[in-house]
Structure 1
Amino acid sequence: MSGRTTVRQAVFDLLRDRGIDTVFGNPGSTELPFLDRWPSDFRYVLGLQEASVIGMADGYARAAGRCAFVNLHSAAGVGHALGNVFTAYRNQAPMVITAGQQARSLLPNLPFLGATEAAAFPRPYVKFSIEPARAEDVPAAIAQAHRIALRKPWGPTFVSIPSDDWAAPCWPVPMREMAEDSGPDPALLARAALQLAAAKNPVLVVGPEVDQGGAGPALVALAEHIGAKILTSPFASRIAFPEDHPLFGGFLAAAPQAVSEALAPHDLVLVVGAPVFTFHVVGDAAIFREGPPIIQLTTDAEAAASAPAGLSILGSLRLAIPALHALLPKGDRAPPAPRIRPAPPPPADPIPAAWLLSRLHAAMPAGTVLVEEAPSHRPAMHAQMPMRDWGGFFTMASGGLGYGLPGAVGVALARPGTRVVCLIGDGSMMYSPQALWTAVQEKLPLAVIVIDNAGYGAMRSFSQVLQVRDVPGIDLPGLDFVSLARGMGCPGVLVTKPEELDGALAQTMAHPGPMLVQVVVDAAVPTLYHRH
């Protein structure tokens, strides 16, 4: 180990050793000692509000498949970020979040910008949180946070750093290696293989861990070997299976009765890379009481422990899926009938959202990555925009708005030269619009498609499902997203007629930097869940 250095130098050397050359941040006075004389081999990505900073880091980490590094302002700055910290936790996005803190000598007197119990502030939605007891322990704490962020399941970690710690002397942190994946229990896999081999009509429910773990091709091979129908788990935040594959059977709704009815005809359910199951509305989950046996493969111990029924097998999907495949005899099941995809509706005035989505899908160049935050239009998106490419689709797993636009900026930063489309609702767009400014500064090829139905469409739908009336706070008249974008240097165009749409979409797909298209659509209430 080399000789003594400063905390600041040790941290930058640590980041270099671990291949981190980008810092996402929004600076304040307590961060200035870290930012002083910024090294030329690091990129600093500025977000204009801390929630945007976390969203960008989240998209970057998920698209790059590696840990992001974040530097936030103390106290209220961390508070601003917490909504997207929660989303990053649910998204299983690996990142080390650092935040400034007032100087240690001031802390006993409740100083301005001092964070009381700083490490407790982001809990429980970080995997690890600490304010080191000594300045010299800061680099080791960041190294530990980095290792924990990348331990499956991935997620955010947090380190609070008093402003005068950066100049303190310390020893550099030695490089350490840690196994990325752990294998599943072979005996449990053997049990699962016996049950699968004996099943006459199994079904696979697959989720976002498959794409996250790089296990997509192995899953396709397993599914083809079994010859079973494939369903995507409720609220999957990434592509879970190629949606144009003959075995793909559609999407499970996040409703207990709908899930139970979809799975009841089968004699075995194999859940791969998803919880058992994610619900959004109340109802009778008969699947856990009288349904077929359930086997779950997951890297997420919390999801496994919370499963109400079945056999859960913990371990890397990259290792578990091929191991299970090798144990299975070749089946002779007849393949399920191909899924019939609904045709797009014809153009109309006002523009139907489903028609907009079908035209957007046709306009997107090959290899385009889609980032979505338009919850009320997700069923129409599933119907009109089949996802095919691993790593080609991202949304938020938390249900908290404000992720989509900064997440898309982060994805574009992680995939230089790749066209990224952010599909976002008008309500969602207002949570983190300032991320457009960062996209402009970074000259990102980002197309932002705002679906403008003048309100919170999901709330309109839930009002019908729950049979409530006269709910305030749902309508959003008078929002001008084109002017908002232009105010941050981003060109934009407003589409109100169907004949204007294709030209606007072609223009934004060809634009070298960010561009926004605001599409006014029919405000008819979408159907998210049917009442039973």
Structure 2
Amino acid sequence: MTTMDAARVAGRGPEQTVREAAFEVLRRFGLTTIFANPGSTEIAFLTGLPDDFDFTLALHEGSVVGMATGWATATGRPAFVSLHTTAGLANAAGALATARTNRAPLVVVVGQQDRRHLAHDPFLTGRLEGLVGDYPVWTGQPARAQDVPGALARAHHEAVSGAGPALVVVPMDDWLQPAEALRSAAAIDVRRGRPTLGPELDELAVALDEAHAPALVVGSAADDESSWSAVVTLAERLGAPVWQEPFGARAGFPQHHSAFAGHLPPTRSGARSALADNDVVLVLGAPAFRQYPWEPGDLVPAEATVFQVTPYADETHHSIADRAFVADVSLTCRGLVAKVRARAGKAAAVRPPAAALPPPRAGEPLRPGHVFDLLARWLPEDAILVEESPSSRPELHRRVPARAPLGFVSAAAGGLGFGLPAAIGLKLGAPHRPVVAVLGDGSSLYGIQGLWSAAHYHVGALFLVLSNGGYAIMDRLAEQSGQGKQPWPPFSEIRLGTVAAGLGCPADRITSYDELTDALSEVLPTLADRAGPRLLDIEVAADLTYG
């Protein structure tokens, strides 16, 4: 075998293109599932894909990134995304912001016009630098076509270590250029670190031992089996109540456990009231603290000492904690269990149980609480529940607890359009788990194109749309502002079931309690094995329970 033949066998011969070299890098890192909405600047990359690559189409870039975010969340691995130039990247901006806040690792290739005439500003030239702000954890614009494979390896590293979307901008002619040796790109390997505490663990243990009434606040970075187990053991040893962070992307504790106190209110006065009896607050895997409406006063009682443990260093920069530690939640909790004294008794119940609503009387409308009570009755324990129904979110929290890791997923960034495509990606990434999305009708319209992907790829998710004919949360906020009537009209004419059917997704319009009972009792028990999507368009009253 000649030197030239050996190089060709090794995949580094002069005949190899940048595209072929890029596929080698993508294979190395398991990035063989492509989520995309194609554009002309990606034709050279996407056409004639190798057989070991899977292409998943969505009809809007928000759905593309939402599905990829769900897939990455379910699998724990980076997802690969292909976006068109300016229009594609701009359409995906909100979804990329959610991916960043939800800590979803994404490797995103953004197409660009032909490098050979970029200087002349041809049609579809993307002015891409800064287009989506600081939401990417890293952005690479390779200086040469031959630098693209290495940039993809770098993007994988940045997506994993930065826990967010990493972008690589690739001019369309780069893919077919001759490649160079891939030694630097191929040698890169990435493993997410598990930072641990040293002497600081003793400091934290002493503070908890000396506390009169400690409390825990958990968040998304505690949402895995190891962390759930460790936090449960620590809470039981301390006899401490456990609060869920407000606006969390995921649940950090089993919400049917007797120590679960509820969701920490998203207001300063609410948080102070909830933590009024606690002199030490340990925040685990969550910001300290994310709020929504501004209020005067402290975030926590003045007498309380706040400690924070998070694997994300950037979370500490916005923290009001007295001491913040960048460390793994599970390992920290297990270390603390070995050091703190066991306390007698259990944490007093803080969260009042939500009594089931009686069925509506003749002529009365369904309310979100009716939907959630029936959902809780039949929802499998291992189900993944995706939430994007802002006006009824607190009601959902009160009535449908997360009972397994990855049991609750939402958009921590707050932008709409995440829930529907994320549910599809979650089911694709965790096909053995039942997936239910609880959506508002207004929220659904931001990502409704995703239903085509759910139908086309036979994704067995259930979509529950609470149709109240308007932006109920916005109506509530307008009412609270005291500035008069809102200018936006309702949209009660819309029938989401009709739209869903037009996109190939089976759907039913639900207007009565009996219809809802029949539908949920039929679908939920066998949801894990469902071979296609279903949408229930449920007519509900505009309950304004947000708070």
TM-score over 0.5 (shorter chain): yes
Matched, 1:35 2:46: yes
Q: Distance in 2 between matches of 1:100 and 1:144?
A: 17
Please, which of 377, 394, 406 is the counterpart of residue 379 of structure 1? 394
Counterpart of 1:528, as a letter, is Y
Please, which of 4, 14, 27 is the counterpart of residue 25 of structure 2? 14
Please, which of 171, 179, 183 is the counterpart of residue 162 of structure 1? 171
Deviation at 1:327, TM superposition (A): 2.4
8 Å CA contact retained: 1:183, 1:320: no
Q: Distance in 2 between matches of 1:262 and 1:45?
A: 45
Q: Distance in 2 between matches of 1:473 and 1:461?
A: 13
Write the mapping of 1:220-369 to structure 2, written as runs, cut at 5 A. Answer: 220-288=232-300, 290-337=302-349, 339-348=351-360, 349-369=364-384
Deviations 1:115-174 (A, max 9, x none): 12x2422230010001111111111111011011111x5111100000111112222232
Deviation at 1:69, TM superposition (A): 0.3
Deviations 1:414-451 (A, max 9, x none): 01243211110000010010100000011011111100
8 Å CA contact retained: 1:256, 1:279: yes
Matched, 1:452 2:461: no
Q: Distance in 2 between matches of 1:490 and 1:356?
A: 21
Deviation at 1:212, TM superposition (A): 5.5
How many residues end up aligned between the 2 structures?
A: 526
Write the mapping of 1:76-91 to structure 2, written as runs, cut at 5 A. Answer: 76-91=87-102
Deviations 1:356-407 (A, max 9, x none): 1111222323422111100111111011111101112111001100000000
Q: Distance in 2 between matches of 1:261 and 1:52?
A: 39
8 Å CA contact retained: 2:160, 2:190: no
8 Å CA contact retained: 1:97, 1:158: yes
8 Å CA contact retained: 2:467, 2:540: yes
Distance 1:275 1:366, change over 3 A: closer
Q: Distance in 1 between matches of 2:455 and 2:230?
A: 38
Q: Distance in 2 between matches of 1:214 and 1:45?
A: 32
2:317 counterpart SS class: helix
1:383 counterpart SS class: helix
1:111 counterpart SS class: coil
Which residue in the other structure is 2:4 paired with? none
8 Å CA contact retained: 1:451, 1:519: yes
Deviation at 1:338, TM superposition (A): 6.5
Which residue in the other structure is 2:159 paired with? 149
2:409 counterpart SS class: strand
1:450 counterpart SS class: strand
8 Å CA contact retained: 1:89, 1:125: yes
2:176 counterpart SS class: coil
Counterpart of 1:91, as a letter, is N
8 Å CA contact retained: 2:387, 2:410: yes
Matched, 1:528 2:546: yes
TM-score, reference length from structure 2: 0.93
Matched, 1:191 2:200: no
Counterpart of 2:170, as a letter, is I
Which residue in the other structure is 2:3 paired with? none
Distance 1:161 1:68, change over 3 A: same
Which residue in the other structure is 1:517 paired with? 536
Distance 1:242 1:213, change over 3 A: closer
Matched, 1:410 2:425: yes
Q: Distance in 1 between matches of 2:97 and 2:25?
A: 26
2:223 counterpart SS class: helix
Deviation at 1:354, TM superposition (A): 0.5
Counterpart of 1:302, as a letter, is D
Q: Distance in 2 between matches of 1:85 and 1:474?
A: 29
Q: Distance in 2 between matches of 1:49 and 1:222?
A: 44
State the identity as a percent: 36
CA RMSD of aligned residues (A): 1.7
Which residue in the other structure is 1:180 paired with? 192
Matched, 1:114 2:125: yes
8 Å CA contact retained: 1:246, 1:338: no
Uncovered stretches (5+) of structure 2, i.e. residues with no partner: 1-6
Q: Distance in 2 between matches of 1:186 and 1:417?
A: 39
Uncovered stretches (5+) of structure 1, i.e. residues with no partner: none
Deviations 1:226-250 (A, max 9, x none): 1100111111111111111011111
Please, which of 66, 82, 87 is the counterpart of residue 77 of structure 2? 66
Q: Distance in 1 between matches of 2:249 and 2:224?
A: 10
Counterpart of 2:535, as a letter, is L
Distance 1:179 1:46, change over 3 A: closer
2:82 counterpart SS class: strand
Q: Distance in 2 between matches of 1:19 and 1:298?
A: 27
1:114 counterpart SS class: coil
Q: Distance in 2 between matches of 1:20 and 1:284?
A: 47
Which residue in the other structure is 1:103 paired with? 114
TM-score, reference length from structure 1: 0.95
